A and B are shown apart, each in its own frame.
Chain A
């Protein structure tokens, strides 16, 4: 063979450095990818985005914040252990131990470090890397490196690039070093002291994942990864519990009874080394630590070479996964007709859920663990007080578990399709109908939790009062609403085609969903019934609005360049109503600041400014975005619109008058009526506002945008009822019923004439009649 000189292999240290660098580079890319996605940015055609500067700033802030958070927990843990194990007399409850630690304290810290060490191993194992179909060792062995050197390189890179290990061990190490008197050199001392533990964690991780890869198929690996992720969270919670203001009793008991021999294992030896009073003792402990870790590494590498004695072949290759005897179904053998629950899509989703333990744990187990851990850590749940928990707390727990479940499942309906999403583009079904079926399925599954919580509550409390039943109704109503919200937000918050697991979700939308779910708890905790109704109706409307936006987006889901044309939608109506009320509030606040009281003309002016601003702004936005379906006031058939307006106005006004007379006859709300009549007779501006300004601006928002938006997705009747309900709930409780009637009449008039003139006239007539009656009564 001729040619140039052959390339020589990299030296041992160079190989270690290259592999470590590769791992760190990958970690850095993953972190920056998570934070660098612009909100709402659409995917470009190019495979990789252009480099963006200053990405590291966000990552650095997050890392700093996490270190601070863990540091604070570690500090509080040290304080708690000191208080529980040393019983300092007369010391402040926030006192830290200092100098030479007591025997009890050393054992306590050794226990905490042992738990941290387990988290460092489990956390690293629980990453998705274990369940990825590709095993990097399979191509690393093709590099010109001898196996022992390759294994050493792997240990080194996993020692250095172990972010979970660093995050858990470094803050605790720094605190221990600080307490032992190292002060400002403590972080450096800790960084050196934890290296043996990180090396050991890397060894365990490598042994476990290599062994598992060699013997388990990818599907089983994913299931195992799910179990490991739950285990790592549980152990992490145990460690965190030591650093809570009220630590868990049983964990503190572990610390109290940690065996003395445990202090001679590597985690305990790290504590002892850092806390030695003199150099010679410190060196002895350090040498013992190095010896133990050295022996462990030697044994570990021997086991590794035994594991890899037949080469590096993962058990997950296709050949081994193939079933030995293929199942054959002959043409004459028809599957027996069985009763099947749900639709084709729902059955497939359930089948995937049953097989993918990772998905199962994430959707149905983690929410329960998260919510109950929070409750336990906040000290809200103790066996003696279970029966004494308020109904509102029970309802909020029930809703929280359901909301978390929906976030893990319904929110990710598109992500669960993943790269196979194309299949849904090949069938004669709209993507919306598929998502709707999935939303229903997840709503039903998520409803199981609130039901269980309420049943348990009734069993424990031994009775079900009307308040609990009311709360149960609110929660059970909220779950399907939030299933729809989760699926709709998921359309914007998921990237089913993203290659990296971490970039599949856009965190902004996850936070938005959590914030909206949090708002719903106001329906539980609000004191007035009408406030609860307002929250429920608004949440329902929000789900419709978001669903509509998502539906518009769906045909453009996989298109990197196109976006849906601008159309008037329900969400525009919600935004317009909010803008209207905010501007009105600001204007009135300015009047109040200047004149120190609010006169009738101020109300009219504030109302008019808010209405005119909202109207003008929306028209401008619609004009700029070439929006279609903008509601118009006039048009062909004006006479018909006037006729409909007068007719609808008279019907609504008659209903309003009947309502007023009924109130008077039944002697209900008479104080409120008299107060309103006094205000009306004292102020000429209010009639002007009610008969002229209100119809113009409110009709644009409630009929033009909200009803118009709803009408795009619904038949006339549900759209009329829903828009009238929203219109009613933004009015004072005393007038909700007749205003609902006005909403129905006005929406009907608009639907028949397609001109805002009709509902405006109806609204004006209604307000004029009701005001006139109120002042006379």
Chain B
């Protein structure tokens, strides 16, 4: 479903992402782990055509994310790490706008807006200006924007960052539900517990290089001979630092 082929990105002489080749099959929830500044957001932004690859390609549903930027978005829902919304638009209006931008009829967009607001616990604040939302509410509204067109792929950058435990659990349950319905999910995080609980496969990136991939179980067995995921993470990132 998602195919990275030698995808790379440099900012001048700084290499943010070394050529990355990876395939995330349909229906998989893939956890993209790495320390701060490792290249997770850069990779995700290239998938969303916010950044232009320095080399290689990334394809979603067979479409090139850079060349077919608009077409790809029909299949993709995206949540950035810190979503910002328009001043003077209420949460409900933003969601309705995004729905209609995805080509939904006004009535259909309105119905889905109501459903998602209620599902994500935003119905009490739907008439507030989104700019006044707390971080958790903004994340939930961002997730609603990503889900409104019922995409087959979800790309989520730190989806539970800044959420309280209850909100974090709500979001994780919603993601689990989407995965059960066959949605392919590519999420970046450095919350290892969540990655281990949710993801069927994990990739760890460090200094722009993919240093380990596999299911949580495989990684624990192969890298640390039965240690925890945290030990795996520390081992592969330290190893990369030493080389």
A residues engaging B (CB < 8 A)? 44-45, 133, 218-219, 222, 316, 318, 321-323, 326-331, 334-335, 337, 340, 344-345, 348, 351-352, 355-356, 417-420, 422-430, 555-556, 558-562
Contact = CB atoms under 8 A, between A and B. Distances in A.
B12 interface: yes
Given A331-B114, A344-B100, A429-B101, A423 B129 contact: no
B78 A419 contact: no
A321 B52 contact: no
A30 B172 CA distance: 43
Given A420-B85, A423-B145, A428 B97 contact: no
B50 A558 contact: yes
Contact of A335 (B12, B45, B107): B107
A426 B146 CA distance: 8
B132 A321 contact: yes
Given A45-B11, A327-B127, A561-B11, A426 B73 contact: yes
B3 to A, nearest CB: 20
Nearest to B12: A561
A218 B132 CA distance: 9
Interface of B: 9-12, 14, 45, 48-52, 54, 66, 69-74, 76-78, 80, 83-89, 92-94, 97-98, 100-103, 106-107, 110-111, 114-115, 123-129, 131-134, 145-146
Contact of A428 (B11, B74, B110): B74
Given A327-B92, A348-B86, A429-B101, 6 more contacts: A348-B93, A425-B50, A427-B98, A555-B52, A555-B66, A561-B11
Find the residue from A133, A219, A329, A426 having the highest chain B CB count within 10 A: A426
A428 B71 contact: yes
Given A334-B111, A348-B97, A428-B102, A562 B73 contact: no
A422 B80 contact: yes
Contacts of A326: 123-127
B48 A351 contact: no
Given A352-B88, A555-B52, A561 B10 contact: yes
Contacts of B14: 45
B98 A420 contact: no
A220 to B, nearest CB: 12
A355 B88 contact: yes
B50 A429 contact: no
B126 to A, nearest CB: 6
Nearest to A556: B52
A255 B72 CA distance: 68
B87 A425 contact: no
Contacts of A561: 9-12, 54
Given A348-B89, A355-B88, A335 B110 contact: yes
Which 10 pairs across A and B sit closest by C-beta, in order of nearness?
A: A419-B84, A427-B101, A355-B88, A428-B73, A562-B52, A561-B11, A344-B100, A428-B74, A318-B132, A45-B11
A562 B54 CA distance: 8
18 contacts: A44-B11, A45-B11, A219-B87, A318-B133, A322-B125, A327-B92, A329-B110, A348-B86, A352-B88, A417-B86, A418-B87, A420-B86, A425-B49, A426-B78, A426-B146, A427-B98, A428-B101, A561-B10
A556 B84 CA distance: 20
A321 B127 CA distance: 10
A422 B70 contact: no
Nearest to A345: B101
A528 to B, nearest CB: 46
A229 B56 CA distance: 51
Contact of B77 (A222, A322, A348, A426): A426
A337 to B, nearest CB: 7
Contacts of A351: 88-89, 93
B11 A334 contact: no
B155 to A, nearest CB: 9
B73 A427 contact: yes
Given A331-B114, A334-B110, A426-B77, A420 B84 contact: yes
A425 B33 CA distance: 24
Nearest to B125: A322
A352 B129 CA distance: 12
B114 A329 contact: yes
A554 to B, nearest CB: 10
Contact of A562 (B51, B71, B129, B134): B51
B101 A323 contact: no
A472 to B, nearest CB: 35
Nearest to B79: A426
A327 B126 contact: yes
A525 to B, nearest CB: 41
A327 B114 CA distance: 11
Contacts of B126: 326-327
A325 to B, nearest CB: 9
B83 A422 contact: yes
Given A327-B126, A558-B51, A559-B52, A428 B88 contact: no
B98 A322 contact: no
Contacts of B131: 133
A352 B93 CA distance: 11
A348 B130 CA distance: 15
Given A331-B115, A335-B107, A337-B107, A422 B88 contact: no
B163 to A, nearest CB: 16
Find the residue from A330, A418, A558, A561 having the highest chain B CB count within 10 A: A561
Contacts of A427: 73, 98, 101-102
B145 A321 contact: no
A323 B128 contact: yes
Contacts of A426: 48, 73, 76-78, 98, 145-146
Contacts of B85: 420, 423
Nearest to A558: B50
Contacts of B51: 558-559, 562
A47 to B, nearest CB: 12
Contacts of A321: 128-129, 132
A419 B146 CA distance: 17
Nearest to B85: A420
